[in-house]
Amino acid sequence: MQKLPGQCADSAGKGGAEMVRRILVALAAAVMLSQGVALYGLAGLPELAGVLGVSFVLLVLVPRRGAAVSVVGSFFIATLLVWGMISGLGLYDKSCYRPDQMLVTYDIGLDGQRHVPNASVTMVQPFGDMGAMSADAAVPRVPREVLFRTDALGFRNDADLAREDVILIGDSFIQGSGNTQEDTLAAVLRSDYGIPSYAMGAPGDLVDYVARAKAHAANHQAPVLVFLFEGNDFARYDGKVRRLPERYVRRMHATDIGKFFRLQMARFKDTEEAAHVRVMPMQGQPMAFYGPYVEETRREQSKAGPRFEPLVQSLAGLADAVFFIPAKYRVYAPLMGAAPLPEADWLLLKNACDAAGIPCHNLTEPMREAAAALWTESGRLLWWPDDTHWNRNGVDVAARVVADVLNDMAR
């Protein structure tokens, strides 16, 4: 029987509506699947885009879409239940060996890490970062009790930012990784020198420091100081700006479920990280050094790349001074009879700061002098023996230098 024109149009309309419905259902299910995968924190944007694209095409074409959509929905619900279990039972926190791990989060606006605001954690940290990387019994492990308290912005301070506070911007050295609250640089400047100070310290690099300075210190009346660490602040800067989808993925990685599974995955890579931990005797006392940071001190040429100088230039008018924090090996190499080290990263930073008109200060010589004196006097160290970060002794040296610089500024 021949169909009338109206019937053909109705059939075409129904077919078109069915296709639209099929596409919308497939898209919703594909988004749900990729979101569920993102929450586990193990996939980047390219992988998630692949999951989204492939699942969408398959869900449009598969004959039994209902069953496929049900499977996707079940996976997503199961993921939410796992997330709830990890958060409710505190499984991520129980997997952490230091408090800043517990509290780390992601600021999607500034595209950088900071910590959960207005939080306080006290725990016994059983070892430093290299003690966590390696199971080698030769790595000296030093337990210490650590109080870690954050302010309203998620930085490690006892009080919120005040107009008179000197702002310190940097990475985990300024955050005070491995040290208790009263042994951070900002706290020591305040307690020992009467200098009100505020730490904007969190894992990151020069891109993050510039972003923090622009966001929080642009109109600040007191001095703003920026600290660059030789070990990891001179990696190559490629100039790439993360787009919103990439930032969203990083935000998913910072959820409890994302952090938990990323931490478990990192433990599978412990063998690779353990190979980077080197134990060297310092006049008979074992001390751990992180291989990549040792190699950084030996570079004849910095690998920071052409974007480094413009980033330093962008601090002009924002930063009143920049400080170079040497790696542990650079400080202790002379005491171990090592050959003189090149100064590629420091010279790059100094030249960039000179071009930008920003005073720049190198902590290497004050640290070396104090390290030699303290070791000769009492066999004590400026760095934790199992950590890439300085201890209270090292913080005291840095605080003295910073206080002298600030006093010179005030004259």
Q: How many CB atoms lie within 10 A of CB 70?
A: 12
Q: Does position 144 have pLDDT exceeding 80, yes or no?
A: yes
Whole-number Å distance between alpha carbons of 207 and 110: 10
3-state helix vs strand vs coil in the chain, percent to 5? 50, 15, 35
Q: Does position 383 have pLDDT exceeding 70, yes or no?
A: yes
pLDDT band for position 227 (cuts 50, 70, 90) = very high
pLDDT band for position 7 (cuts 50, 70, 90) = low
pLDDT tens digits, residue range 246-298?
Answer: 777 777 787 888 778 887 777 766 666 778 899 998 878 899 999 999 999 99
Query: What are the two backbone dihedrals, phi and then psi, of residue 279, each rounded to the nearest 5 degrees?
Result: -100, 120
Whole-number Å distance between alpha carbons of 22 and 280: 64
pLDDT band for position 89 (cuts 50, 70, 90) = confident
Residue 289: both structure tokens together: 């050094």
Q: Does position 67 have pLDDT exceeding 90, yes or no?
A: no
pLDDT cut 90: percent of the chain above it: 59
Whole-number Å distance between alpha carbons of 286 and 385: 8
pLDDT of res. 76: 86
CB within 8 A of 77, min separation 6: which ones?
none
pLDDT tens digits, residue range 184-206?
Answer: 999 999 999 999 999 999 999 99
pLDDT band for position 10 (cuts 50, 70, 90) = low
Alpha carbons within 13 angstroms on the beta-carbon side of residue 173 total 29
Q: How far apart are the first and last CA of the chain?
A: 101
Whole-number Å distance between alpha carbons of 231 and 345: 10
pLDDT cut 70: percent of the chain above it: 93
Model pTM?
0.85
Which domains does the chain show, CATH number per domain? 5-89 (no CATH), 121-243+270-410 (3.40.50.1110)
CB within 8 A of 45, min separation 6: which ones?
245, 246, 249
User: Which stretch of 87-96, 381-390, 391-400, 401-410 has the lowest confidence by average pLDDT?
Assistant: 87-96
pLDDT band for position 387 (cuts 50, 70, 90) = very high
The pLDDT of 145-174, averaged and rounded, is 97
